Chain A
Amino acid sequence: MAALIPNVISMKSEFIQATLETLYMTFGSAIIAAVLGLALGVWLVVTQPGGILADRVTYSILDKLTNLLRSVPFIILLAVISPLTNFLVGTTVGTTASLVPLIFGIFPFYARQVQNALLDVDHGVVEAAESMGSSPSEIIFRVYLKEGLPDIIRVSIVTVISLIGLTTMAGAIGSGGLGDIAISIGYARFENDITLVATLIILILVFAVQIIGDWLAKKVEHN
C-alpha cells in the first residue's frame, strides 16, 4: 500500500479533512439551494401560461432571471459574487465563504430541473384538484410536490452530483476540499497518487448519492 500510494499515506489526515470539507460544501449549499430552487421551480410552474396562478409578466421575469444566473460560468461566479459573499459571511475566502457561490451556482439549475419535473405532473390531476375546490397552496403542496416527488428526487440526485463537481472548483477561493487537494497538491507537486485517490473518493460520493437517491425515488413511486 505504502509503495502504491506513498504520498497519500503520509497525508491521511489531510484527506479526511478534505473529504469532510467537500461533504460540508455539498450538503451545506444543497440544503439552502434546495429551498431556493424548489421555491423558484414551483413559482415558474404556477405562473407560466396555463398555470394555476398564470401571470405572464412574473413568469417572463423569473424565466429570464433563471437563464441569466445559469449562464455565468462557475469559475467566474466565484469571483463576481465575492462582494455578496463578504456581506453575507464576512469573508470571501474559506470553506464557508464558498457556500454562497455554490448556492448561486446551483439553485437556478435546480429550479429548472424542478420546473421540468413538475410539468410532468398530469395536468388532469391538477384540474381535478381545482374542481374539488383546492386552493393554489393546497394544489402546490398536496398535488404538485406530492405527485412530482419521485421526479423531484431524481432531479435532486442529478443536482447534488453536479454540485459535487462545483465544489472541486471552489478551491480557487481557498475552500479546501478534495478538488483542492487534487489540484494544488496532487497536480502541482506531481504527486499523481494524491490526484487519483481524491478522484476515487469523489467517485464514491457520487455513486453513494446515486444509489441512495434511486432507492428513495423507487420507494415513493407507485407506478
Chain B
Amino acid sequence: MTANNIIELKNIDVTFHNGDQTVKAVQAVDLTIEKGDIYGIIGYSGAGKSTLVRVINLLQTPTNGTVTVNGQQLQQLAPAALRQARQKISMIFQHFNLMKSRTVLGNVEYPLLSQKISQAARQQKALQLLKLVGLADYAQTYPARLSGGQKQRVAIARALASDPEVLISDEATSALDPKTTKSILALLKKLNQDLGLTIVLITHEMQVIKSICHNVAVMDAGQIVERGRVAQVFTAPQAPLTVDFVETSTNVKAAIERITNTIDLAGLAANQELMYFNFIGNATKEGIISQYSQQYQLDVNILFANIDQIDGENVGYMIAIITGDLAAFNPAIAKRVADGVKTKIITTENGLEGLA
C-alpha cells in the first residue's frame, strides 16, 4: 500500500444467503482510493454500490477480501479498535438518519458523547460545525422542522464532528431537489478542498459525478465495469452501461428515441442517412460539419445538438440527417476518430448500440 492510498479494498466479495437463494451483491472488487480524492461510484439501484461502500467501514462484513483504511486492516481490529477506526470514516445517508429526539445541536454533538471532553467544549465544537454548514441559527431546533437540504447539512456537520479522514456519501443528494443538490455538492467540494477530506460518494446520477468527482467507477451487477478519471471515462466510455449513463445525462438517448419514433428511417432516400456525431475536446471547436458539407456538397439537417462539459473537457453530441455524396463523406469523416470525432449511422435495428 502506498502512503497516498487511504482506502484499499482487495478482492471483495459480498454474498447474501436468503433461504435457498444466494445473492452475490459484490463480486471480486478491487478499489483503491487516494487521499484527498473525490471518488464517485455510479450504478443503477441493485448494482451493489451501497453494499460496497458499507464494506469500507465494515458495516457490511465482506465474505472475502481485505479492507484497509488509513493503513489499518479493519478486519484484524478488535471491536473497540474498529469503533475507534469508524470515527475516522464518517458517513452521510440518503434519508439523513438524524435523531428526531435530539436538537440539531444534540445531533451534531452525538459523535462527541463518547469522547472525553467537557460538555462546554463539545457544544462549542458542534456549534462551530453548524456555522460551517450555515445552520448555527437552528442549533436548538428539532430535525422535524428542517427541510431536506438543511437536514443533510446537519448530517454533514455531525459527520465532521469526529474529525474524519474519509466521508462516505450514500446517495446523499438523491432525495433532494436539483438546486439543493447543487448546494450540498458545493459544500462537499469545499470540505474536500479546505479540510483535505477524502470523499467516496455513490449515486445513480451522472450529474453528481460530473460536478464534483475526480475519479469514477461504474458498477453493474456487483462488479466494477469501468473506472478511471471522470473526463476519460465519460468522454470515451467503453462499457455499454457507461455509454448508457452518458447518453442519458446528455439527453442523447431521449433524442434518439424521439427522432426514431417520428422519422420513418426506411423512408429516407438512398443518398440520405440519419447520423449521430460525437465530438470530444478540440473537435468541438472546429467547424467539421461545415467543412465537410462544403467539400462533399452535403445538406445537413440538424435534429439534435448538445454540448456538455465534463471535468473541463467539452463534449459535443449531434444527430442530423445528411443528404448528398455519402459514399465519399462517410469514409472521410470516419478517419477523424483520432481527433475526437466519432460517428454512427442510426438504423431502426441498432439504435445507438456500439457507437464506433
Tell me the A residues contacting B by CB distance below 8 Å: 122, 124-125, 127-135, 138, 142-143, 146-147, 149-150, 220, 222-223
Q: Which A residues touch B89, using CB under 8 A?
A: 131
Residue of A125, A128, A134, A146 near B83 (CB, 8 A) is: A134
Q: Is the pair A128, B101 in contact by a Cβ cutoff of 8 Å?
A: no
Q: Which A residues touch B113, using CB under 8 A?
A: 138, 142
12 pairs, CB–CB < 8 Å, chain A vs chain B = A125-B99, A127-B59, A128-B91, A131-B59, A131-B168, A135-B83, A138-B113, A146-B102, A147-B99, A147-B100, A150-B101, A220-B101
Q: Is the pair B101, A131 in contact by a Cβ cutoff of 8 Å?
A: no
Q: Is the pair A138, B114 in contact by a Cβ cutoff of 8 Å?
A: yes
Q: Which A residues touch B59, using CB under 8 A?
A: 127, 130-131
Tell me the B residues contacting A by CB distance below 8 Å: 57, 59, 79-80, 83-87, 89-91, 93, 95, 97-102, 110-111, 113-114, 142-144, 158, 162, 168
Q: Is the pair B99, A146 in contact by a Cβ cutoff of 8 Å?
A: yes
Closest A residue to B111 by CB, please name it: A132
Q: Is the pair B87, A147 in contact by a Cβ cutoff of 8 Å?
A: no
Q: Is the pair A133, B83 in contact by a Cβ cutoff of 8 Å?
A: yes
Q: Is the pair A142, B110 in contact by a Cβ cutoff of 8 Å?
A: yes
Known A-B contacts A132-B110, A133-B114, A138-B114; A127 and B84 likewise in contact (beta carbons under 8 Å): no
Q: Which B residues touch A132, using CB under 8 A?
A: 86-87, 90-91, 110-111, 158, 162
Q: Which A residues touch B90, using CB under 8 A?
A: 131-132
Q: Tell me which of B79, B99, B144, B158 has the highest count of chain A C-beta atoms within 10 A of its own C-beta.
A: B99
The complex places the Cα of A157 from the Cα of B106 at a distance, in Å, of 28
The complex places the Cα of A131 from the Cα of B200 at a distance, in Å, of 15
Q: Which A residues touch B102, using CB under 8 A?
A: 146
The complex places the Cα of A135 from the Cα of B95 at a distance, in Å, of 22
Q: Is the pair B101, A147 in contact by a Cβ cutoff of 8 Å?
A: yes
Q: Is the pair B98, A125 in contact by a Cβ cutoff of 8 Å?
A: yes
Q: Which A residues touch B111, using CB under 8 A?
A: 132-133
The complex places the Cα of A125 from the Cα of B142 at a distance, in Å, of 15
Q: Is the pair B97, A222 in contact by a Cβ cutoff of 8 Å?
A: no
The 10 closest A-B pairs by CB, nearest first: A222-B142, A128-B97, A133-B86, A133-B83, A124-B97, A133-B87, A131-B91, A132-B111, A125-B97, A146-B101
Given contacts A124-B97, A143-B99, 16 further A-B contacts (CB under 8 A): A124-B93, A125-B97, A125-B98, A127-B93, A129-B110, A130-B86, A131-B89, A132-B86, A133-B84, A133-B86, A133-B114, A138-B114, A142-B110, A146-B99, A150-B101, A220-B101
Q: Which B residues touch A125, using CB under 8 A?
A: 97-99
The complex places the Cα of A132 from the Cα of B86 at a distance, in Å, of 6
The complex places the Cα of A76 from the Cα of B75 at a distance, in Å, of 53
Closest A residue to B94 by CB, please name it: A124
Q: Is the pair A128, B93 in contact by a Cβ cutoff of 8 Å?
A: yes
Closest A residue to B85 by CB, please name it: A133
Closest B residue to A126 by CB, please name it: B97
The complex places the Cα of A125 from the Cα of B107 at a distance, in Å, of 11
